[in-house]
Structure 1
Amino acid sequence: MNKPSKADNSFRLLFVCTGNTCRSPMAEVIARSEIKERGWDGFEVRSAGIGAFDGDIASGGALRAVVEHNLDLSGHRATLLTREVANWANLILVMSATHFMSVTELGAGEVSSLITSFADGREGGVMLESVPDPAGGTEEEYSETFELIRDLVDKVLQRIGPLGYR
């Protein structure tokens, strides 16, 4: 993992999916909420997509899934994953092996892991199952994806701890 510089002691966590309109924004808003609820300082959380169109809003299904849990994605705007965005992060958690390959191609493979692998304590190249993409799916599929991501983010934050995974 990239250690924060002495000038900037924050821990920077980046979630990555395909379009940055469903999975990674849900992970971002869940992580921000959980970090705030735990009273942890010094964290920054963002999300991006390997095929995102900058400025796209979150999908309707994602918006509705998070609202059910008193979270809000109405201000979210998609960000394309670039080398600059990847280099910003101390830890990049991706939703699928395809996303991991894209991050690696940008030179950030050392600080990235499939979210399911990291949550399970098996980062470092071990690829477990991907987080299903609910895009175009039913409300139930979005809700199930939200619940899965919430569980994964909880496990990730337990591993990172209040001082960041350093």
Structure 2
Amino acid sequence: MAEALLRKMMKERGLPGDVSSAGLFTVDGLPATPFAIEAMKEWGIDLSGHRSRQLTRPLVEVADHVVGMTAEHVEALLAQFPEEHSRIRALGLPDIPDPYGKSLEIYRGVRDLLKEWSHGLLDILFDCPAS
């Protein structure tokens, strides 16, 4: 959800670059959940082709920024990739909750929180607040 939302927001704001997602606690090839697809579809974002992938060292090495959804993610990233500490950050505080296995309403709430924190992240990374 965060990848697709950030990609859309960057395009709308005319910001350069690309966004990709990978998980610390996932396996490769899993589709987005039906509720994730539904929640994002409500905002015109298509997740039907999304597939999960495990975070790997090569992905971290080519990334300009590595963003964790929770403090636990950031701690795990720093432990696994300590030499990359200057590029690792949290999306925001409080943690972004994991909606997996929860209701559509929870997915919508997480989507809304992702949008809120993503605006702030883009403002910081690109030093250009949204108008």
Q: 1:155 aligns with which of 114, 117, 120?
A: 120
Verify the 8 A CA contact 1:29 1:71 in the aligned structure 2: yes
Structure richer in helix, relative to its length: 2
Do structure 1's residue 145 and structure 2's residue 118 form an aligned pair? no
Return the TM-score normalized by structure 2.
0.89
Q: CA deviation at 1:81?
A: 0.8
Q: CA deviation at 1:70?
A: 0.4
Q: 2:7 aligns with which of 5, 9, 32?
A: 32
Please name the residue that 2:71 is paired with.
97
Q: CA deviation at 1:132?
A: 0.9
Verify the 8 A CA contact 1:86 1:106 in the aligned structure 2: no
Q: CA deviation at 1:162?
A: 7.1
Do structure 1's residue 61 and structure 2's residue 26 form an aligned pair? no
Please name the residue that 1:84 is paired with.
58
Cα distance between partner residues in 2 of 1:102 and 1:84: 16
Verify the 8 A CA contact 1:134 1:142 in the aligned structure 2: yes
Structure richer in strand, relative to its length: 1
Q: What is the alpha-carbon root mean square deviation over aligned residues?
A: 1.5
Percent sequence identity over matched residues? 32
Q: Aligned AA for 1:28?
A: E
Q: 1:111 aligns with which of 69, 77, 87?
A: 87
Aligned length: 126
Gaps of 5+ in 2: none
Return the TM-score normalized by structure 1.
0.71
Gaps of 5+ in 1: 1-25, 117-127
> What is the SS of the residue equivalent to 1:150?
helix
Cα distance between partner residues in 2 of 1:101 and 1:158: 24
Do structure 1's residue 131 and structure 2's residue 96 form an aligned pair? yes
**Which of 1 and 2 has higher RCO (CA within 8 Å, sep 6+)?**
1
